[in-house]
Chains A and B, each alone.
Chain A
Amino acid sequence: MQNITGKIAFGGIAIGKIKEISKENNVVRRVKIEDAKAEIARFEAARDQAAEELKGLYDKAVKEVGEANAAIFEVHQMMLEDEDYLDSVRNIIEAQSVNAEFAVATTGDNFARMFADMDDDYMKERAADVKDISERVIRVLSQKEEKVNTSGAEKEKYIIAADDLAPSETIQLDRETVLAFVTRHGSTNSHTAILARTMNIPALVSTAVPKEVNGKMAIVDGFKGIVIIDPDEETLREYEKKQQDEKNRQELLQQLKGKPTVTKEGKEIKLYANIGEVKDLGAVLQNDAAGIGLFRSEFLYLQSDHFPTEDEQFQSYKTVAEVMAGKKVIIRTLDIGADKQIDYFGLEHEDNPALGYRAVRICLDQPDIFKTQLRALLRASMFGNISIMIPMIASVWEVRKVKEIMEEVKAELTSEGIPFKNVEFGIMIETPAAVMIADELAKEVDFFSIGTNDLTQYTLAIDRQNAKLDQFYDSHHPAVLKMIQMVIDSAHKAGIWAGICGELGADLTLTETFVKMGIDELSVSPAMVLPVRDKILNA
């Protein structure tokens, strides 16, 4: 048994035999020619045929993986029309009196090197595209049949292993016979990785699989990013179970996808997902969440070495709003401090950061930072259904002050002629103080979202980072559950909705309790959306 790690291009589990796809090493020979004109004509005819083939691949790809993912084949066609590329080939044929194959190979290598040398991971990948189109032209010139198809008479399924796969090779593989892709080179940015994701096939790249693996039994774990070659009985059984679990999840998805989340008594619960980065959006859509209940905006600050500008923030918020296409997107404003520290904020050391200078306290103390974020949020509101949520509220005056600043920002935008929509405005309930005055806070806002992690730590006076306190930490503590009930009741009395976006929201043993309490919204990690929906439908 041998474990090999790789980079994950797409998750999933596959068990089966490996089939190695090796390209014939087309050694291009340099041949002296007499008639350069005729050779150029031969090249141009081959180029036309290659372009024609790519057109066919484009049509196939549009059908199988959609227009956006098929676009690469259109780009390939255009590369074959590129004047610089064509000039280079013609030049080499003429100046060196060499055969078209050699001229194309040389040109392909030169352009590939240009891309490979760029200091941009995405552009480096484009070297493979240039090589792919050049090889295609060379193959046409050598009048060889294209052969990548694995489809045999028996239609056995395989894990495909290769040094690298060009997008054109990936799309030509018979999907019915492919269990997974494992390539020795390539990156998660490559088009093959993107195609694998669209085709829903587990894929690993940059995986050091040995050469002699053809026909061997293997497991591809696309969640952990490992390939296990010649697995032992126990591992095999373990993975068969994992595969079954994953299948069950997929079935749950099929069964529950698109269904409204309604309790037996007929109340619809808003079931949203929590995300921390723009790239988590895929998981939100895959798991069929009705919206985003908590978008932690901290990543913008944590991944930056300076205060993110209004435009930088605007782009991220706009993307999320657009991708969610009109579904609710609740964005929590800056929640820095406590366990999340950032150098450029220049925060002083605190003995007790959880009770210190953090979140809305920073925003009210340094309104410039806050205003930049609010401006970006309001501008992005034009592109979807954005709500703004403020963390760490303990007093009514804080909410009023935030609203005042928001009004100032709106007035600025209006005077600058920048459009924005009126957004829902809510607060997180995560301090015991906010729970006790929830009835007063409810008059100021459109919704409450209970942050159970902080609320529990503040209520039980237990530091959740301290493992020594585990025996004292009870996430189902009656004090916390009573508080949740109080918050829901206060919200309903004022005619606003209340939800939970903390970890407790995804606790399936409490789902029924929350429904009975009258909860209106639950926001959970994307993977938990369907299990929670299943629970609610039966609650």
Chain B
Amino acid sequence: MKSFSYTVKDELGIHARPAGMLVKEVKNFQSKVTLEKDGKSVDASRLMAVMGMGVKKDQTVTVTVEGDDEDAACDAIKAFFETNL
């Protein structure tokens, strides 16, 4: 299992478009990816759930990746956050 924390810098937070892109990215991998904020966690391959978290600018989320390809998945998702959010 791998995980990292990220503080969102995008003005709008994790809004519709990046949420959609994130879900796409997550679906590229076998691993199960979970997004956690303030004790609430959701499956990152589920768009409405991710949007429903309502992650805003300056809030920190913890991303957990678990599965056979977790190393590659974790790197890719981390890079995704850094570039898009």
On A, residues with C-beta under 8 Å from B are: 71-72, 74-75, 78-79, 81-85, 111, 114-115, 118-120, 122-123, 126, 129-130, 311, 315
B52 within 8 A of A: yes
- Cα–Cα, bound, A74→B19 (Å): 11
Q: B7-15, B30-38, B62-70, B73-81: which lies at the A interface?
A: B7-15
Pairs across A and B, CB under 8 Å, 21 listed:
A71-B20, A74-B20, A75-B16, A75-B19, A78-B20, A79-B48, A82-B46, A83-B45, A83-B46, A84-B49, A111-B48, A114-B48, A114-B52, A115-B52, A122-B12, A122-B13, A123-B15, A123-B54, A130-B48, A311-B9, A315-B11
A486 to B43, CA, bound (A): 67
In the bound complex, how far is the Cα of B17 from the Cα of A119, in angstroms? 19
Chain B residues with CB below 8 A from A114, complex form:
48, 52
Residues of B within 8 A of A74 (CB): 20
Q: If the complex has contacts A115-B52, A120-B54, are A82 and B47 also in contact, measured as CB distance less than 8 A?
A: yes
Q: Most chain-A CB neighbours within 10 Å: which of B9, B45, B52, B56?
A: B52
- B48 touching A84, Cβ below 8 Å: yes
A75 touches B52 (CB 8 A): no
Q: Which residues of B contact A71 (CB under 8 A)?
A: 16-17, 20
Contact across chains for A78 and B52 when beta carbons are under 8 A apart: no
Known: A71-B17, A82-B47. 16 other contacts (CB 8 A): A71-B20, A72-B17, A74-B20, A75-B16, A75-B20, A83-B45, A84-B46, A84-B49, A85-B48, A115-B52, A118-B52, A119-B54, A120-B54, A123-B15, A123-B54, A311-B9
Q: How far is the CA of A72 from the CA of B51 in the complex (A)?
A: 13
The A interface is mostly helix, strand or loop, or mixed, namely helix
Residue numbers of B with Cβ under 8 A of A are 9, 11-13, 15-17, 19-20, 23-24, 43, 45-49, 51-52, 54, 56
Smallest beta-carbon distance A124→chain B, Å: 10
Query: Are A75 and B13 interface neighbours, CB within 8 A?
Result: no
Which residues of A have CB within 8 Å of B54?
118-120, 123
* A123: chain B residues within 8 A (beta carbon): 15, 51, 54
Given known A78-B20, A115-B51, contact A122–B15 (CB-CB < 8 A): yes
A315 touches B46 (CB 8 A): no
Q: A115-B51, A315-B9 are in contact. Are A129 and B16 (CB under 8 A)?
A: yes
CB atoms of B47 and A79 under 8 A apart: yes
- In the assembled complex, how far is the CB of residue A278 from the closest CB belonging to chain B, in whole angstroms? 8
B14 → A minimal CB distance (Å): 10
Given A82-B46, A83-B46, A120-B56, A126:B20 Cβ within 8 A: no
| Highest count of chain A CB atoms <10 Å: which of B24, B47, B48 | B48
Minimum CB–CB distance from A66 to chain B (whole Å) comes to 13
Bound complex: CA A425 to CA B11 (Å): 29
> Given A79-B47, A83-B45: A72 and B16 within 8 A (CB)?
yes
Bound complex: CA A533 to CA B42 (Å):
54
Q: Please give the distance in Å from B33's CB to the nearest CB on chain A.
A: 14
Shortest CB distance A54–B (Å): 12
Set of chain B residues within 8 Å of A85, measured between Cβ atoms: 48
Instruction: Find the A residue at minimum CB distance from B52.
Output: A114
User: Residue among A75, A111, A315 with the most chain B CB within 10 A?
Assistant: A75
Closest 8 CB pairs of A and B: A75-B20, A75-B16, A82-B47, A71-B17, A118-B54, A78-B20, A82-B48, A78-B47
Residues of B within 8 A of A79 (CB): 47-48
Does B23 contact A78, Cβ atoms closer than 8 Å?
A: yes
CB A395 to nearest CB in B, in angstroms, measures 39
Residues of A within 8 A of B24 (CB): 78
Which residues from A are CB-within-8-Å of B13? 120, 122
Cα distance, A130 to B51, chains bound together (Å): 12
Q: In the bound complex, how far is the Cα of B49 from the Cα of A130, in angstroms?
A: 13
* Distance from B30 Cβ to chain A, minimum over Cβ atoms (Å): 16
Residues of chain B with a CB closer than 8 A to A78's CB? 20, 23-24, 47
Chain B residues whose CB sits within 8 angstroms of the CB of A315 once the complex forms: 9, 11
For the complex, what is the distance from the CA of A75 to the CA of B47, rounded to whole Å? 9
